[in-house]
Amino acid sequence: MYALQQAMRAVRANWVASVSTIATMILSLTVLAGFSLLTLNLNAWLSRLQSELELSAYLSDSADEAVLLGTIKAWPEVSSVDYIPKERAITDLGMDFPSISLATDLVGNPLPNRLDLKVVDPRLVNTVSSKLKNLSGINEVQDGSDTAQTFVAINESVQVIGSILIIVLLTSSLFAIVNSIRAAITARAREIEVMRLVGATREFIRAPFLIEGFLLGLISACVALVLIIPGYQFVLFRLSDRLQFLPLVRDLWLLIRVTGLLFALALLVGIVGSAISISQHLREEI
Amino acid sequence: MIQFQDVTKTYSRSHTHALQKVSFMINQGEFVYVTGHSGAGKSTLLSLILRRIQPSEGIVYILGQDLSKLKENKLPLLRRKLGMVFQDHRLLSHLCAIDNVIFVLRATGEKGDLEGRALRALRQVGLAHKRKAFPVELSLGEQQRVAIARALVTNPPVLLCDEPTGNLDPDTSWEVLELLNDVNLKGTTVLVATHSRELVDQLRKRTLVLRNGRVVRDDEKGGYSL
């Protein structure tokens, strides 16, 4: 109780340093949340892409589809494979383009038999495509590898840039906390000196500063969430109609995990920052 | 109770020999002055007793404990047995007199009737009636009395005073000295570091005289002589 009172007094007394620290942490946490949500959405897109991305292997007339099906089904990269005979292929095409049936009447069915495959991960499209091309009885392979690779590259770039930015911002937050607590220590130097000389334990001396760091982290996380949650809802509202093909993340459990991560990081940075500051001070004094 | 064995303290940065081969022993219940000019080594001696610094050579024993062997986490326990009074009293300006005394009890983890104990300590120094006054509302002598109450509230066996009358006029100095003598008569060992001739001559007690970091006189009869 005493430590909490002292911590709150310090936050009020050093309000300029406290506000500056909180602002820095809010910025860091907001960027962190923004990148986390962006990554979640990109992963959702990847999953959608994964479920929709198909490779088509066009067979020669002499190909033994039963052997090919058996071989391909054994590949771990492939989640499903279907044999599409050319009769079904032309029927499917005729449903999309009715005039095709007229041409078919004149020249016959020009389409080959084919295999439609789905892969377990879009990143494996190129691998599966190469393996298909090496099989005898397959004339041509069509895949969406360019689209998939571009998408994977975008996702990985966002993750790398986001990680760098988050590390830089969290480090600056940590040092903001260290400086803020250092200001509080300087303001209470006489009190600390008295405590040390009368035989106060380190824990007693440290507690108010650790609580102050915790409070700064807690306030920052709360304010950041007040900004992030409505902000994300606004983005969902604005984009969901315009980009209907994109599966925007609305999973409550995932959002709770992002929120929990933010709180945990904010509190950790707050406590670690203040622990660094007070430990330095106590060590210097001995 | 307090023993220095060939203690030397050299400040490596400035290459200053603050104390050189200092040896003495203070027994329980003694009242001892440590005198000397500024820079003679009085503050260094008190800092060694409090283990704010470590000797470069020699051994310091406090209450039978070799301080060089004292672990860091045991240091607070040692300091709880050493009451400390400073020249500038070091009261906390945002706390009233009784809260300054209670602060020490809280900081040392004492339980029970803290306010009652703090009030008794203030009564001992004659300031119970000013318990709610803030330091700025007290005279310098009263502030020093509160500082003494703060040092005594945990009933330490040793009271260390660093120039306790340095900021006080002669009459107030005498009052503070009488108070320290009363504390000593009740069994507390009192060590007063001072360069005040009047103080040492007014109340004659054992006197250790330091000059250039060495003990040049250890006189049971006391009196100021450098």
d(CA B110, CA B108): 6
| Interatomic CA distance for residues B134 and A129, integer angstroms | 84
Q: Specify the pLDDT at position A284.
A: 47
The pLDDT tens digits of the residues spanning B174-215 come to 888 888 999 999 999 999 998 887 888 888 899 999 998 899
Residues A165 and A104 in one domain: no
**What's the Cα-to-Cα distance from A37 to each of A95, A153, A234, A248, B81, rounded to whole Å?**
40, 18, 13, 10, 58
**Please, what sign has the CA dihedral across residues A8, A279, A273, A187?**
positive
Residue at a domain's end among A105, A125, A143: A143
Residue showing tokens 């109450």: B149
B33 and B205 Cβ atoms separated by less than 8 Å: yes
Express each pLDDT in B72-129 by its tens digit: 888 888 999 999 988 888 898 889 999 999 999 988 888 889 999 999 999 988 889 9
Residue with tokens 């709180």: A263
- A contacts of B154 (beta carbons < 8 Å): 198-199
Residue to substitute from A198, A204, A283, interface B, most B β-carbons within 10 A: A198
Domain membership of residue B101 as a residue range: 84-155
Say how far apart CA A210 and CA A207 lie, in whole Å.
Answer: 5
Tell me which residue in B52, B73, B104 faces A198 most closely, judged by beta carbons: B104
Q: Indicate yes or no: pTM above 0.80.
A: no
Residue B224 has pLDDT above 50, yes or no: yes
Nearest to B109 among A190, A194, A201 (CB): A201
**Whether residues A31 and A64 fall in one domain:** no
Q: Are residues A23 and A124 in the same domain?
A: no
Which of B54, B92, B158 would you mutate first to test chain A, the one with the most A CBs within 10 A? B92
Q: How many domains are there within chain B?
A: 1
Question: One-letter amino acid identity for B168?
Answer: L
| Same domain membership, residue A271 and residue A161 | yes
Confidence of residue B146 (pLDDT cuts 50, 70, 90): very high
- Asked if residue A71 and residue A7 are part of one domain, the reply reads no
* Distance between A19 CA and the closest CA of chain B, angstroms: 23
**In this complex, how many residue pairs, one in chain A and one in chain B, have their CB atoms less than 8 Å apart?**
46
Which whole number is the average pLDDT over A125-152?
82
Q: Report whether pLDDT(A188) > 90.
A: no
Dihedral (CA of A74, A78, A80, A84) sign: negative
Is residue B174 assigned to a domain? no
Closest residue in chain A to residue B48, using alpha carbons only = A286
| Cα–Cα distance measured from residue B208 to residue B23, given in angstroms and rounded to the nearest whole number | 11
Chain B residues touching A198 at Cβ < 8 A: 79-80, 84, 104, 107-108, 150, 154
Span between the terminal Cα atoms of chain A, in Å: 28
Give, for B93, the enclosing helix (H) or strand (E).
none
Q: Residue B223: inside a domain, yes or no?
A: no
Q: Are residues A154 and A240 in the same domain?
A: yes
At residue B225, the pLDDT reads 63
Averaged pLDDT, B25-29:
93
CA distance to partner chain B, nearest, from residue A213 (Å): 20
Looking at the structure, tell me whether residues A8 and A78 fall in a common domain: no
Pair A154, A135: CB distance under 8 Å: no
Boundaries of domain holding A80: 54-143
The verdict on A115 and A15 lying in the same domain is no
Q: How far apart are CA B81 and CA B181, in angstroms?
A: 19
CA–CA separation, A3 and A205 (whole Å): 9
**pLDDT tens, residue by residue, A209-243:** 899 889 989 999 999 888 888 888 888 888 777 77
Among A48-52, A206-210, B164-168, B171-175, the range scoring the smallest mean pLDDT is A48-52
Q: What's chain A's average pLDDT?
A: 82
B88 assigned to some structural domain: yes
Which candidate, B211, B226, B150, B181, places its Cα nearest to that of B32? B181
pLDDT on residue A7: 77
Please tell me what DSSP assigns to residue A123: G
